[in-house]
Structure formats: structure tokens, C-alpha cells
Structure 1
Amino acid sequence: MNDRKLGIAALALAVVMFWQGWGLEAPFSYEPLGPRAFPLLIAAVMAVCGIVLVVKGGGQSEPNPPGASLRIGAMFLVIVGYALIYQPAGFIIATALMTMLVGRLFGGGWLKPAVCGVLGSVLFFFLFDRVLDVVLPLGVLEAWL
């Protein structure tokens, strides 16, 4: 029954996302799809997944292994922290920090998540901001970039 409950919750969230995303309009057109395409696409994917869970669901889920609930809560806090520091710190610093913390939550040491976080955030920044012209916040690195 847990899968069906999750499916119903996903469908409800997809409806809310679709309703909120439909009203998004940019004051000027800077890309062909506009700002509503991404939330509507995510809402559609979430609705399909919710339907699959409702139709196919019904199995009982296993309890979380020891310590998993704590890691889930920590992941939630990492995501909230990422959202809070994204604009002032900038994409590169916020994403590197978030990647390092997520790497630690999944059992990595400090070195590999740090290297992957810094390299990945720098590469994705230049890919999106400079190559694809998706404006990302520079934050504290504005003077150097």
C-alpha cells in the first residue's frame, strides 16, 4: 500500500507543479521554450511515475536500514542549505559544497567528493553560462569571472 500512497502524493504534487508552472512567463523572450517548459516537463514525468506506482504498486516496503533515516534528513538539510546559499555564494561554490556533502553522505571520503565537486561545478558553470548562455549566479566569485 505504501507504493500507492507515494503514487497518489506524486500525482498531487505533479498537478500543483503543472498548475504553478503553466503561469510562468518571462517579461522578454530570451530562449525559444520560455521558463515554463522545465517545470511542465518535470510535472509530466512525475505524473507518469505516480500513475505507474498507483497501478503497479501494492507491495510492502522494507524498513530503512540503521542510520538511513538520519542520512535522509541530512540530505534534506543539504538541499535546503544549497537553495539558501545558491544566489549569494554563486553556482560554483554552492554546487561544489553541495557535491562534497552529498559525497560524504554516500560514504565517500573528503578528497574525491571535494575534487569532483570543484571540477564538476567549474565545468558545468562554463558549459551552461558560457557555452549555452544560461545565466548562473557568480556570487562571491563575480570579481574573478
Structure 2
Amino acid sequence: MTLHKGQAADRILGIVLIGLAAFAAIHALNLHVPFSYEPVGPKAFPLGLSVLLALLSLVLVFRPGENGHWPDKALSLKLLAVLGVLLVYALLFTRLGFLITTCFTVLALARLFEASWLKAAMAGVLMTLGSYYLFTQGLGIALPYGRWLPAVG
């Protein structure tokens, strides 16, 4: 069995992502909050994402794609922009709060993938409100309101 360039790249990416999942899981396990109002706790969400990332990465390792090729320059720039938007989201999440950062992040991501301004804005508002109610009401997780806005609710 010969490996194609794309299959080797998929396997390498899968192994790197498994390492990232392990790194995130270790940091999630080290989260210690003396008292939490949340029934799930602060470890559940990052641990769940770490497990999901590891499982999906195993697919890349054991079932690499047949037609692997590197993305062209335009797609590479778009992927870097997505990474940048998510980095800004992580940096501003506690400062601006969940509602504002999530809405603008979804808006920016939708625009990156060529949604119209109206559709991007609607997606931002609907996904922000839907995920806010899922986390707060469904899972009982407190989300940051931001340093500039007093706690509501």
C-alpha cells in the first residue's frame, strides 16, 4: 500500500490535532474553580470539545482522503482569516461579553464565506440568541456579560 502525498498530509494533520486535543484536555482538567453555580462545571465544555476533536482526528489518521491537495492561495488566506477571527473572539470574549463577541464573530465568518450582509447579520443574531439560550437555560452555564455591561438576569 503506497501513501499519496494527500494521505500523508491528512495523517500528519490528524496526529497534530490529536496532540492539540490532548493539550486542551490537560488544560481543561487543570481548571479549578472554588465554587461554581453551573451544574456542568467549567471543565465539561472544553473536555467535550477535546474528545470530539480527538475522535474526528482519528478519522484523518485511519481513513485519509484519496484526493489530497493543498488549498490554493485564496482559500489559504480565507482559512487564515477564520483563524484570526476566532483568535480575536477568544481575546475579546470576557471583555465584551458573549452576546457581542459571538454576534460579530458569526457575522464576520458568514461574510468570509460570501454571505450577504443581511444574511450574515441574521445568522449572527439568530445563532447568538440560540446559543445563549442553549447555554444559559438548557445547560445552566453562566456566560460573561462583558466588563462594560452590568449582569442582566
State the secondary structure of the residue aligned to 1:108.
coil
Q: Among 105, 109, 112, which residue is 1:105 paired with?
A: 112
Contact (CA 8 Å) 1:17, 1:43: kept in 2 or not? Answer: yes
The answer to which of 116-125 and 89-98 deviates more is 116-125
Residue of structure 1 in register with 2:123 after alignment: 116
Q: Among 17, 29, 45, which residue is 2:24 paired with?
A: 17
Shift of 1:9: 0.7
Residue of structure 2 in register with 1:76 after alignment: 83
**Structure 1, unpaired ranges of 5+:** none
How has the CA–CA distance of structure 1 residues 39 and 86 changed in structure 2, closer, same or farther, with 3 Å as cutoff? closer
Q: Supply the distance in 2 between the matched residues of 1:48 and 1:143 (Cα, whole angstroms).
A: 37
How has the CA–CA distance of structure 1 residues 114 and 134 changed in structure 2, closer, same or farther, with 3 Å as cutoff? same
> RMSD across aligned C-alpha pairs, in angstroms?
2.5
Q: Supply the distance in 1 between the matched residues of 2:107 and 2:77 (Cα, whole angstroms).
A: 18
Aligned structure 1 segments of 4 or more residues deviating by more than 4 angstroms = none
Q: Supply the distance in 2 between the matched residues of 1:18 and 1:39 (Cα, whole angstroms).
A: 7
Deviations 1:23-58 (A, max 9, x none): 223212534443222222222222222333222227
Q: Supply the distance in 2 between the matched residues of 1:39 and 1:122 (Cα, whole angstroms).
A: 21
Q: How many percent identity over aligned positions?
A: 37
Residue of structure 1 in register with 2:33 after alignment: 26
With normalisation by structure 2, the TM-score equals 0.77
Does residue 6 of structure 1 match 2:6? no
Deviations 1:66-108 (A, max 9, x none): 5111111111111111122222222111111111111110111
With normalisation by structure 1, the TM-score equals 0.81
Q: Supply the distance in 2 between the matched residues of 1:50 and 1:132 (Cα, whole angstroms).
A: 27
